[in-house]
Structure 1
């Protein structure tokens, strides 16, 4: 072979012998050079590339060492290993146009006021100006952040705790995993329908999951080590646990010596009345509290907090010290600034106003065709309807570029069916377009029909 299609860049940071080796290797792998092909001599190739002969010799030597080339005394340098044969033309994948990403009407993406972006940038500039700790910091989290979180929990959730009682986590799922490690042995009750990630986390921890009806009072938790609930805004039905049921649950937990795991999901976004105080405010000895920055700040921040009953605080701290579990230091510093500057409060107030305006629009569009499962609150609403109608509406939305959730995907044994419509992470125009698609699909089936009662839960 008299020449090779190579191009060496003298200004690149990669040395030219390495460039040559990389390009020749690619020619072999791609099938341009085949086993047994003779390469140009080092002198000829150096003259062709206008480089020193040493550049070519070093490149060849590297490829010989890797087994791609071999030298034959008196004959030259040859390809020693065959490349990958190109696929037949008929089997080569055809180029497809880039598809437009789906617009997600999900339950977890919040609306963040774009007017507050300057505060977000300011927080990260402050992070960049602070030296990180030289080693692993306090496994409970930044002390200053825990002070700010204690203040916020007292102000907004009626939960009076000391900063040292708070553990900063890498989100709700991480907090739940941490808690499961220090709970006594035994199965965990999980609402059904309920938060899918919670059920998966319990299963991943090697614990049995017991389905607990989400829309019924809980009067017994016998045989359970703990029970996971979302009392402020049940996910996904949207129901608020009444005061009497809260007291019954706590009494049942005391009788069974079980821990209630409260996920304070979506709690700050009530727009009809003030947010319901946290269940943990009624019994700090019996309730473990999980909070998150995902809905008020951003899911990608991956930060949350855990307030554990005093009896579990010591074992949890010891485990985190051994495993170096801890949330990201830069994320903690950023959240501290966002809380200190009032950014989180501003974003929550703006989001609450936005959700209060969007929720009735969703209700006006869907109420002729389905039954609202719970009060209008938070960043999504759930609509009960037969599964076939829900699937037809979901499929029509997908065809139009919108993704909505099926209620049946949150259920394990309850049999609930319907649609779960998020309205936080979309624009007003996108929401209106999605609602138009859904209502057209639902109108084919006529007005709402009573949904058959779900089957009774299994014992």
Structure 2
């Protein structure tokens, strides 16, 4: 454990917690603190500095959110990364340094305000104190959690379902994987450009894929199912127009097909009210998939599925044989987060942050590209020539950031642009990334 050479100034305009996190960050960048170094506990550091423990907790939470430190349960807090030079002592050879890991401006990492960290920790403490089931839990998921999700779907998505119609999954692709054996025969339509994991999941199940063009009516005559993201097309950002929604549902009824609705980030609209779920219009031919990845975090690996009534019984029967469900501790933690209102608070905070960040992205990219759709959620997509995409990505990479080209979401489509995620980074990181992208585009 290292004693930290830091000094806090109560007369300084910056709060004590900000001063502490800044000085620790500087120690890492200077190489004084190296990867793997253990930091003092928040209690010990607070006593050493003569401050309240809340000051050190706030500083550690900020450093954890920015990726400078990692917390290992029962072991302590450790330096995760460093950016400064390393001093070589003696006559030995310098240690090889690993290639610095790029910070991804990806579509799937949400913003979790460090101020909400205490609620997260409380949820897991409750898990540790709870009594685990003696055998395998309900194959559909913990009943209380299914009830909480059913209430949330009715409140936020206009989707009225019975808790017994909700099945817990290990995320959207897991729900799709479980659905595929029960879907009608025929190919599965997937948007192009579209969600890459969905395409790979369909292919891995041995089903043929038909590329669908976002914004064009979907023909169901050759399809057994169509996988769509109607509230916020991934990754172009379009909202499926109401006439197209009705036409899609009518085509599915006529064909006896199923529409798989991935409702991945509908809670994060900040331009208009959330777009109602497609399943709220039609239950008999729509399989609804939701996820906690964009609100709680993708690492939790938990989501939910509301299948068409005709598919519920076979899905449950198979799960009774395979026990294919999320882990009990993860389900219990999500239940606690929902009950305590933690998820609602995180969503509200993130929505405000995204509403602030989207115009900053637009200010950088508007002179060089065209938005694919109005800004919403935690990313925005910009159409621009391949040469501009290359310059922007290279400049971002030099600055330590990875920005995805729109082409990486395409199969047969030929569309060029940038997809800029702004959820899983700090404001300072976003500003550095945008400055680099601007230099590349203007160079």
Q: Distance in 2 between matches of 1:186 and 1:139?
A: 28
1:172 aligns with 2:169: no
CA contact (8 A) 2:184 2:256 kept: no
CA contact (8 A) 2:175 2:305 kept: yes
Aligned with 2:324: secondary structure?
coil
Post-superposition Cα deviations, 1:292-313, rounded to whole Å, max 9, x if no partner, equal 0000101110000000000001
Aligned to 1:214: 214
Aligned with 1:97: secondary structure?
coil
Aligned with 1:225: secondary structure?
strand
Q: Distance in 2 between matches of 1:324 and 1:170?
A: 12
After superposition, the CA RMSD in angstroms is 1.2
Q: Distance in 1 between matches of 2:266 and 2:95?
A: 46
Aligned with 1:268: secondary structure?
helix
Q: Distance in 1 between matches of 2:394 and 2:203?
A: 30
CA contact (8 A) 2:184 2:258 kept: no
Return the offset for 1:389: 1.8
CA contact (8 A) 1:258 1:286 kept: yes
1:106 aligns with 2:106: yes
Aligned to 1:189: 189
Return the offset for 1:324: 1.4
Post-superposition Cα deviations, 1:406-428, rounded to whole Å, max 9, x if no partner, equal 10000111111110000001111
Aligned with 2:155: secondary structure?
helix
Correspondence 1:363-442 to 2 at 5 A:
363-442=362-441
Aligned to 2:342: 343
In the alignment, structure 2 segments of 5+ residues that lack a partner are 1-92
Post-superposition Cα deviations, 1:148-187, rounded to whole Å, max 9, x if no partner, equal 0000000000100000000000111100000002112221
Aligned to 1:69: none
In the alignment, structure 1 segments of 5+ residues that lack a partner are 1-92, 445-459
Q: Distance in 2 between matches of 1:187 and 1:268?
A: 31
1:122 aligns with 2:117: no
Aligned with 1:262: secondary structure?
strand
Correspondence 1:248-287 to 2 at 5 A:
248-287=247-286
Q: Distance in 2 between matches of 1:356 and 1:342?
A: 21
Q: Distance in 2 between matches of 1:253 and 1:149?
A: 26
Aligned to 1:238: 237
Post-superposition Cα deviations, 1:164-220, rounded to whole Å, max 9, x if no partner, equal 0000001111000000021122210000100000000000011011000012222x2
Aligned with 2:330: secondary structure?
helix
CA contact (8 A) 2:153 2:159 kept: yes
Work out which of the two has the higher radius of gyration on C-alpha atoms and give 1 or 2.
1
Aligned to 1:322: 321
TM-score under structure 1 normalisation?
0.75
Instruction: Kindly tell me the number of residue pairs found equivalent between the two proteins.
Output: 351
Return the offset for 1:95: 4.6
Q: Distance in 2 between matches of 1:415 and 1:270?
A: 28
Post-superposition Cα deviations, 1:4-34, rounded to whole Å, max 9, x if no partner, equal xxxxxxxxxxxxxxxxxxxxxxxxxxxxxxx
Aligned with 1:232: secondary structure?
coil
Aligned with 2:270: secondary structure?
coil
Q: Distance in 2 between matches of 1:200 and 1:101?
A: 26
CA contact (8 A) 1:192 1:414 kept: yes
Q: Distance in 2 between matches of 1:95 and 1:176?
A: 46
Aligned to 1:133: 133
CA contact (8 A) 1:235 1:265 kept: no
Post-superposition Cα deviations, 1:362-403, rounded to whole Å, max 9, x if no partner, equal 001100000000111000000001222212211221122100
Aligned with 1:383: secondary structure?
strand
Aligned with 2:160: secondary structure?
coil
Aligned to 1:150: 150
Q: Distance in 2 between matches of 1:378 and 1:293?
A: 14
Aligned to 1:312: 311
Return the offset for 1:94: 8.9
Aligned to 2:301: 302
Return the offset for 1:101: 2.1
4+ long deviations beyond 6 Å: none
Q: Distance in 1 between matches of 2:230 and 2:379?
A: 16
CA contact (8 A) 1:406 1:419 kept: yes
